[in-house]
Amino acid sequence: MINLVNKIYADTLSEQLGETINSQGGLFSNVGGGDALGDITSVILKVALPLAGTATLVILIVAGYKMTSSQGNPDKLKEAKEMITNAIIGLVFILLSVAILLLISNVFNLNAITT
């Protein structure tokens, strides 16, 4: 019979991970330090800005399509205008949150600005 489950005991796991932990100076060596928070902040900045820009662009395109296809219907035109307004307000909020994140990063010297 084929054994699909292998038992792993704590001592064998620590032996297997011991080389990795010792060679890298600890598995979580940066946790709690300024570098770790700076790394997290830079990841958030690198993900949030392109995602916000892409989402805003898609919403503006959809709203523009709704506006052009409204055929003079005031309800559809109002809905499209509200979508455009909400997309721009959302982008402004995200940009302001990034500015606040950068301000906090600079105040606490977290080195979040990495290119």
Model confidence pLDDT, tens digit, residues 3-48: 666 665 555 555 555 554 544 444 444 444 456 666 777 777 788 7
Cα(12)–Cα(35) distance, integer angstroms: 32
Share of the chain above pLDDT 90, in %: 36
| The Cα angle at residue 94 between residues 69 and 107, in degrees rounded to 5 | 165
pTM score: 0.60
Query: How many other CB atoms sit within 10 Å of the CB of residue 80?
Result: 20
Q: How far apart are CA 26 and CA 81, in angstroms?
A: 54
Who wins on pLDDT, 101 or 91? 91
How far apart CA 60 and CA 83 sit, in angstroms, is 7
CA distance 89 to 45: 19
